[in-house]
């Protein structure tokens, strides 16, 4: 009986020895394909991240230049125009008013110099980012408060326990700029609160205002594309999460949670 089963066992054993290498070859091919695909995806993600960094840097610079341009026109331009007007109105035969107008022109010139110095600090926004997110946010707050329309409070522990991450700081700072711009353009707010806190593993940034509020889920697609979608995308690129709480008449609160560093 054993002799009769022997050919079948030999055939089975042969098939096993033939099929096993085939399975091994197929496994190796699939593994190499997955490894190659993983490497390709990793390279693509790295390129996309680098492109997003460049894009964010350009947007920060563009926002800075827009602020500078507006201030040159609205503030320094007006001061210099007033200075020229004051000097041009001096009448040499009216000795009693000459000194008063010269003093007024000197005061206007001094205010123009002060404004230019503040503009110079704003133009060093990249240095502010390089020095840390806290310093960059403080610079933005200073600029907003100059309008006299907003009361801004800021608090936070400004020293990350695990060190700084300049790339994440840049992304978060751009989100801060977008949020503040939205508040200025749409919220009709008078008070803004900003809180920046670090733990050993996470950064948490909260920006709240007392404006008119809105319903995030009812925003039209074009408004989402220009605002919230872009913010969420930036937060997700650096592994974070963005939450928005708002309702009509109750202001808005934006929270960002980022693994840090």
Q: For position 226, what pLDDT does the model report?
A: 46
Answer yes or no: pTM beyond 0.85.
Answer: no
Question: Contact, 189 vs 210, CB < 8 A?
Answer: yes
Question: What DSSP assignment string belongs to 138-198?
Answer: HHHHHHHHTTSS-EEEEEE--S-TT---HHHHHHHHHHHHHHHHHIIIII--SEEEEEEEE
Q: For position 225, what pLDDT does the model report?
A: 43
- DSSP strand pairing (202-209 vs 191-198): antiparallel
Q: How far is residue 213's CA from residue 144's CA, in Å, rounded to a whole number?
A: 20
CATH 1.10.8.60 is right for the domain spanning 150-261: no
Structure token digits, residue 7: 């050919």
Q: How far is residue 161's CA from residue 154's CA, in Å, rounded to a whole number?
A: 20
Question: Contact, 144 vs 180, CB < 8 A?
Answer: yes
Q: From start to end of the chain, where are the E strands? A: 151-156, 191-198, 202-209, 241-246, 252-259
The one-character DSSP state at 128 is H
Q: For position 37, what pLDDT does the model report?
A: 78
Domain residue spans of the chain: 1-44, 150-261
Q: What is the CA radius of gyration of the chain?
A: 31
The one-character DSSP state at 119 is H
In this structure, what are the phi and psi dihedrals at residue 157, rounded to the nearest 5 degrees?
Answer: -90, 115
Q: List, in order, residues 6 or more apart from 227 with CB less than 8 Å away.
A: 178, 182, 219
Question: Tens-of-pLDDT digits for all 261 residues of the chain?
Answer: 445 566 666 667 777 777 777 777 888 888 888 877 777 777 766 777 777 777 776 777 676 666 666 666 666 777 777 787 777 777 777 676 788 878 888 887 887 777 777 666 666 655 667 778 888 888 888 888 877 889 999 998 767 766 788 888 888 888 998 899 889 888 999 999 999 998 888 899 999 999 999 888 776 555 554 478 888 888 888 889 999 999 999 999 999 999 987
In this structure, what are the phi and psi dihedrals at residue 194, rounded to the nearest 5 degrees?
Answer: -125, 130
Question: Contact, 242 vs 232, CB < 8 A?
Answer: yes
């Amino acid at each position: 009986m054993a002799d009769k089963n022997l050919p079948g066992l030999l055939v089975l054993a042969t098939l096993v020895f033939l099929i096993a290498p085939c399975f091994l070859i197929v496994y190796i091919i699939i593994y190499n394909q997955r490894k190659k695909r993983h490497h390709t995806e990793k390279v693509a993600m790295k390129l996309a991240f680098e492109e997003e960094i460049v894009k964010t840097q350009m947007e920060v610079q563009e926002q800075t230049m827009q602020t500078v341009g507006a201030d040159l026109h609205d503030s320094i331009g007006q001061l210099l125009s007033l200075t020229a007007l004051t000097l041009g109105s001096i009448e040499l035969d009216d000795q009693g008013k000459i000194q008063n107008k010269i003093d007024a022109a000197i005061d206007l010139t001094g205010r123009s110099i002060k404004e230019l110095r503040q503009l110079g600090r704003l133009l060093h926004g990249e240095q502010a980012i390089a020095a840390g997110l806290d310093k960059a946010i403080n610079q933005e707050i200073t600029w907003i408060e100059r309008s006299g329309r907003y009361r801004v409070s800021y608090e936070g522990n400004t020293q990350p326990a695990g060190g700084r991450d300049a790339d994440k700081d840049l992304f978060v700072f751009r989100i801060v700029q977008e949020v503040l711009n939205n508040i200025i353009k749409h919220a009709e707010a008078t008070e803004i609160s900003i809180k920046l806190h670090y733990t050993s593993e996470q950064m948490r940034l909260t920006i709240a205002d007392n404006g008119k509020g809105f319903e995030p889920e009812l925003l039209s697609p074009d408004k989402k594309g220009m605002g919230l979608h872009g913010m969420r995308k930036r937060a997700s690129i650096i592994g974070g999460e963005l939450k928005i709480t708002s309702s009509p008449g109750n202001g808005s609160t934006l929270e960002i949670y980022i693994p840090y560093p």
